[in-house]
Amino acid sequence: MKQKATLKQIAKELNVSISTVSKALSNSPEISEPTKIRVQEFAKLKNYKPNNVAVNLKNKSTKTIGVIIPNILNPFFAKVFSGIEMAANDRGYNVITCISNESLEKEIHAMEMLSNGTVDGFILSVSEEAQTKREFKHFKEAISDDIPVVMFDRILDEVKCDKVIVDDFDSAVHAVNHLVKLECKNIALLSAIDNLSVGKLRANGCKRALIDNNYTVDEDLIILTDTPEAFDAKLDALFEKNIDGVFAVDEHAAVMVMKHAIKRGIKIPEELNVIGFADGVWSRRLTPSLSTVSQHGPEIGESAAEMLINRLEAKEEEIPVYNTKVIKTELRQRESTRKLTV
């Protein structure tokens, strides 16, 4: 274990002062060319790297962003995360990640762990538990401690901060309108995430679209549950009904309805058109591939990182007002919906 090189060390070995070394390494014009070169070469030789912790202490900034994500196994969050990571790196920031696992306690704990100077700001998507319990003290505390927060996807109206969201409601309207154009007569609405704000928005968008198209909103064609298990339990009953179109609010619901339909010998898309919210590569790999509402995860992440860093680096007099950025979704038509022949 060799000693890590420090300014002090180098100064002693070169018989100059610490500040000379510091200035030489930062290429200050105060220092003469010869000493600069001498110092710089010696530093390279010793593989000197300025201790980041010390620099952070001086700067009162760590150039680090805390990211709190409910579940990294969800490909949507994974995509957003990779967007955050990229944008942050591009601007010289590191990313500390915590996975809340949808638990309020872990979310609070993570924020406390990091709210002591470890990170300059947070990017997060609210855990399910925090969302159902409408618990948001910990977010407000961070903000009032002068640690900015950017929320994405799952947001809390009660908290004033920057936000990046998808136009869930409108996207659902759009998707259902598409099913209507495909002449689906009995459109089912499926959700396994009705406990989340985004789930509710999408479901409401679907209902709105049905009403606007003069469809009757038939409760027998609607499954709104909070978990995949509860969803699966209700799925069989759905097939008692004569459905020819499905709008699924989440990936699980979309895939399971297709799986069931295939088992029953229902032809997709000839007899049943399916559209679902989904990211990941898997919608493409399915047989038939799933037509999706794609949420542009990486863009969401990039926007969130940009907003946060812009705020962090804003000069005192030009701190931006809180903003909510809406990222447009895209309807990706694949094999689970018929081609529109208009």
Partner DNA sequence: GTGAAAGCGCTAACAT
Partner DNA sequence: ATGTTAGCGCTTTCAC
45 binds DNA (CB under 7 A): no
145 binds DNA (CB under 7 A): no
Least separation in angstroms between residue 312's CB and DNA is 17
**Spatial separation of the C-alpha atoms in residues 297 and 292, rounded to whole Å:** 13
Query: Cis peptide leading into 70, omega within 30 of 0?
Result: no
18 binds DNA (CB under 7 A): yes
31 binds DNA (CB under 7 A): yes
22 binds DNA (CB under 7 A): yes
8 binds DNA (CB under 7 A): yes
Q: In angstroms, how far is CA 39 from the centroid of its own chain?
A: 45
Helix (H) or strand (E) segment spanning residue 246: strand 245-248
Interface segment toward its own copies; rule CB under 8 A; list 14-22, 30-38, 85-93, 162-170? 85-93
Count of residues that bind its own copies according to CB under 8 A: 53
Instruction: Kindly write out the interface string for residues 216-255 of this chain, putting x where it contacts its own copies by CB under 8 A and - elsewhere.
Output: ---------------------------------------x
**β-bridge mates for residue 69, sequence order:** 99
Among 9, 35, 40, 56, binds its own copies (CB under 8 A): 56
Q: Tokens 């229902």, residue?
A: 266
62 binds its own copies (CB under 8 A): yes
**Spatial separation of the C-alpha atoms in residues 315 and 310, rounded to whole Å:** 10
Residue pair 119/66 in contact by the 8 Å Cβ criterion: yes
Count helices and strands in the chain by DSSP H and E runs: 14, 12
123 binds its own copies (CB under 8 A): no
Q: Tokens 């598409």, residue?
A: 178
Least separation in angstroms between residue 106's CB and DNA is 25
26 binds DNA (CB under 7 A): yes
Closer CB to DNA, residue 263 or residue 315? 315
Pairing of strands 330-332, 291-294: antiparallel
Nearest CA among 328, 332, 325, 235 for reference residue 280: 332
Site for its own copies in 262-281 (CB under 8 A): 262-263, 280-281
Alpha-helix runs per DSSP H in 91-136 = 104-114, 128-132
DSSP state of 156: -
Residue pair 336/288 in contact by the 8 Å Cβ criterion: yes
**β-bridge mates for residue 165, sequence order:** 326
87 binds its own copies (CB under 8 A): no
Interface residues with DNA (CB under 7 A) are 4, 6-8, 15-20, 22-23, 25-26, 29-32, 34-35, 48, 50-51, 54-55, 57-58, 60
**Which residues of this chain interact with its own copies, rule CB under 8 A?**
1-2, 4, 47, 49-54, 56-57, 62, 64, 72-73, 75, 78-79, 81-82, 85-86, 89, 94-99, 112-118, 141, 144-146, 255-256, 258-259, 262-263, 280-282, 285-287
